[in-house]
Structure 1
Amino acid sequence: MKYQGINLENVKLSNRSSILLLLNNNGAMSRKDIAETVGLTAASVTLICSELMEEGIIVELGEAAEEKRAGRKKILVDINPEYRNVLCIAVESDTTYIAVTDMKGNMLCNCSLPTDKHTKPEQFFRNVTDECQRLFWKNNIVREKLLGAAVTIPGSVDRKRGISLNTYSIWTESIPVADLIKKDLGLQVVVENNLKAYAQTEVYFGLGRTVSNLFILKWGPGVGASIIIDGKIYQGSNKMAGEIGHMTAVKDGRSCNCGRKGCLEAYVSTKAIADDVQAELDRTDENADKLERDENIEKIIDNKIDMLAFNLKNSISILDSKNVVLIGYMFEIPGYMERFIKAYKEYDPLVSDDFFVKTDLRVNREHTEGLAVFLNEAFLTA
């Protein structure tokens, strides 16, 4: 067998990624501590850090605060939040959110526009890029300082080609999202499923930094999940792993946007709840956070909660995740998360009190989860 040798360039990129990921997870560290943690020589770490500092990606922060000791003091380095900015575009079923962040996830400015399902996708994304241009102009965002853009969108995505394959509730055709954005803004563009993007955020900025096996459940206008195994997002053979909303909950049941029947989302999404309220009680409630005030409506909600809890329990029985992270509009309604956990415990009374986690990440409210997707693409993978 012919000896292939080692690709030194790939090794170098991998070492850079390891250092950047470590700084992202731990915050400022000295070169010596970095070397001990990632298993590189002090000389290698010094060389890589020098290159990263020359590029402006990391900065020195000064001496570490530590007890008095003999010898050279530790000088801390950290990721430079002002190195570049990232454009985050989050397409949701009703609203599309636009934000610009720094490298640490701090939002610099934002805006939004309705997700117009009746407009052709090409025209819609032209409207999005026009809105981005206005946002840049109003907030003095210099195009040259933008590292790139990340677009998060529901449904199946071909990340390699930057194509949205099927958004189910918005459009059904394939859309070359990356090409459309790049054409108007001239930026590198990464496209990812919205739940997998959130999972990436949890890996880099949240609980995923310390827990390697997680299940993320989102409940709102849509129902979805993402699976993190050994610190990596599990994609599945068709990139559709975690589609809990499209598990069959009722045989030959309601038609779903995905084209199948009986899917969980067709019964427990906010639209499904509103439809059931209108059908069963002959009334319309536009705001889901007001539903619990009516005793009859609470019974409908309890049925939805029970159905969601039942399907989650079956999923967790297979995956054996360490924690379940709860996100989404419905879990933000006072009392709903507690009711859901209570329903789940009826199927698994042995579950620990700390099994369910409500994330502290603000990206779910600011819609900046695309940042983690872009960092993963640009810096943190070799």
Structure 2
Amino acid sequence: MMYVRPVGDDDVDALIQLFSGAGDRLNGMSSIRPEYEFVAPRVARARKAWTDAGALPAENDYFLVLVDGETERIVGTSTIYSMIGLSEPFFSYRVGTQVAASRELGVYRKTRTLYLSNDYTGVAEVASLFLHRDYIGSGNGRLISLSRMLFMAQHPDRFPERVMAEMRGFQNEDGSSPFWEGLGRHFFTLPFPEADRLSATGNKVFIAELMPRHPIYVPLLPEAAQEAIGKVHPNTEPARRLLESEGFRWQGYVDIFDGGASLDARIGDLRAVHESALEVVTEGINLPDDDPLLIATTGVDSFRCVVLPRYRIDEGRLEIDADTMRTLGVQGGETVRVTPLRPGRTVL
């Protein structure tokens, strides 16, 4: 059984191994790096978040891992940052419109522009979604992604009203970024991977010092850079579709490095959040198949989340099998939070 849990102190080596085998799949994913110098401090920060009281404002990193229960191998990751942009500025480009008009000349022209913005300051962020290539598919991405929403639903005091997600931007087959080559490189004189690495390691001061403060007129950019605005990497398309099916929307913000879309939503409006409910569990046998549920425990550091394909609702209690109860670490009579795994399915 696949399950999601908080990252542990002993997971550093397993995470390094997971990320080291990813190759170019990590290109443009600034929140994931395979180096010990990046992984170990991040795990330490995450452990503090999982054991902290969680009072806002705080930039907690609720780092989650996906585990194959048969082997106890870590095969995926995701995270929720409780707030962003508090200790260091969080930059985005906001796609805008500038209008020039002259009645005398009969001219009316709308021009797309890019404005450097800190509009996402103080919102939560979901990030670091990654799966080992052998575990892509079979609903694993949905499990590790939506588990974050059940945690936010259960612990609203730990998060602000809104949440965003940066989507990895489009890249050419050689790993280069058309948006970076057409815009960022002119101000940073750095190759895209190096700028992305500096951002990932927290060295964001150079952004504030070197980025232009005036609007960027999109028509002045190379055509390839223009086309990359709001476009995501092919490997990221499934993640974007999943988030949009849950209520995330593109509001015209893009990443300053690769131009990838930044999606956002009110946490309370997310489908998996507002359709979730608390249920009391009891052990059952000979359970029927039904529309799968996502089921999670209600603790913080004891958080566990799995997909539940077989269950029964009987006299106001949710009957689940003994293996699921052991994986979740719950006993009969305890409360769990559940939500339909997919939109448009049965709501408890």
TM-score range, shorter chain: under 0.3
Larger Rg belongs to: 1
Q: TM-score, normalised by structure 2?
A: 0.27
Structure with the bigger percentage of helix: 1
Structure with the bigger percentage of strand: 2
Q: TM-score, normalised by structure 1?
A: 0.25
